[in-house]
Structure 1
Amino acid sequence: MTISDVDLAHLARAVELAREALDDGDEPYGSVLVDAAGQVRFEDRNRVKDGDETRHPELEIARWSANHLTPAERAASTVYTSGEHCPMCAAAHAWVGLGRIVYATSSAQTGAWLAEWGIPAAPVAPLPITTVAPGIPVDGPVPELADEVRELQRRRFGL
């Protein structure tokens, strides 16, 4: 796994979006879609607080890219995200043909933190991206951002 300074900058933006989500009363997740030329094409944050649990930023990126990018542009793009894609988002990513995924923290890390804090597990199994979509190149977790993401998750639960 090679994480460049460019990767770290885009991941930092994803974590910033996660913080924005948390500050707005939502779950702290954020994602950024970057094209092959290094241009940010779309970004979003979690928007599940109103009851639609599918409003994950990775799913929104998949939907947006399916409507705005060619298959070749999608395949050459990278999605940066504060937390590893859930199975729903990993499947959407694969179905629309997006390229590389880089995530700051893994589902396993998040699960361990929740267990440590006595928080019940999510209703969906935290499968690794590579189990759901084995053909997608994936890099992560990125240790430099783990403490910051952990703190966002801790704040999410008022701990």
Structure 2
Amino acid sequence: MPDIKFDDVSYHESLMLSRCVELAREALEYGDEPFGSVLTDAEGAVLFEDRNRISGGDRTRHPEFEIARWAAANLTPEQRATAVVYTSGEHCAMCSAAHAWVGLGRIVFATSTAQLGEWRAALGAAPSPVAALPISAVAPSVPTTGPVAAFADAVRALHEAYAR
């Protein structure tokens, strides 16, 4: 089947981003900030997925960081370089650095750091203790795609629900 384009991403990529939003919804249901991420191999097979798990007190339990840890332990450097990370929200500085240090490949994100910052400000949320930098500022050699406009409303609604 040809790779059909959907709002600047392929059909497969839109499916992976949809799964990330599902994982973000699951995170919200467990009292965590709504973020979800999926790691695929070069052919698009899912290798690992996770959701945010910060409610236990460890604020580093971001799904993107867990993906980097898992990939370092389970994939060769060559496999990591061709892997793709899909995520509901653009990596924070911590996760961008982990991604680059582990040598993972491309990142596809549904919503951007800038969008999240705007939403948080509109909701009156406290500022992050970490600078809100785009991936390109932290890991400039990592190729990225995003944000994908089709997911903005769904992700924004999850963050609004979390803020309440």
Whether 1:42 aligns to 2:48 is yes
- Residue in structure 1 matched with residue 143 of structure 2 by the alignment: 137
Whether 1:95 aligns to 2:101 is yes
Structure 2 residue aligned with 1:73, among 57, 69, 79? Answer: 79
For the aligned residue pairs, the C-alpha RMSD in angstroms reads 1.0
Give the alignment of 1:9-158 within 5 angstroms: 9-158=15-164
Taking the aligned partners of 2:49 and 2:63, their CA distance within structure 1 comes to: 7
Taking the aligned partners of 1:87 and 1:62, their CA distance within structure 2 comes to: 13
Q: Which runs of 5+ in 2 are unaligned?
A: 1-6
Taking the aligned partners of 2:14 and 2:119, their CA distance within structure 1 comes to: 23
Amino acid in structure 2 at the alignment position of 1:28: P
Amino acid in structure 2 at the alignment position of 1:43: E
Superposition TM-score, scaled by structure 2 size? 0.95
Amino acid in structure 1 at the alignment position of 2:32: D
Superposition TM-score, scaled by structure 1 size? 0.97
Amino acid in structure 2 at the alignment position of 1:101: I
Q: Which runs of 5+ in 1 are unaligned?
A: none
Shift of 1:100: 0.2
Taking the aligned partners of 2:163 and 2:122, their CA distance within structure 1 comes to: 12
Shift of 1:2: 4.1
Taking the aligned partners of 1:64 and 1:120, their CA distance within structure 2 comes to: 31
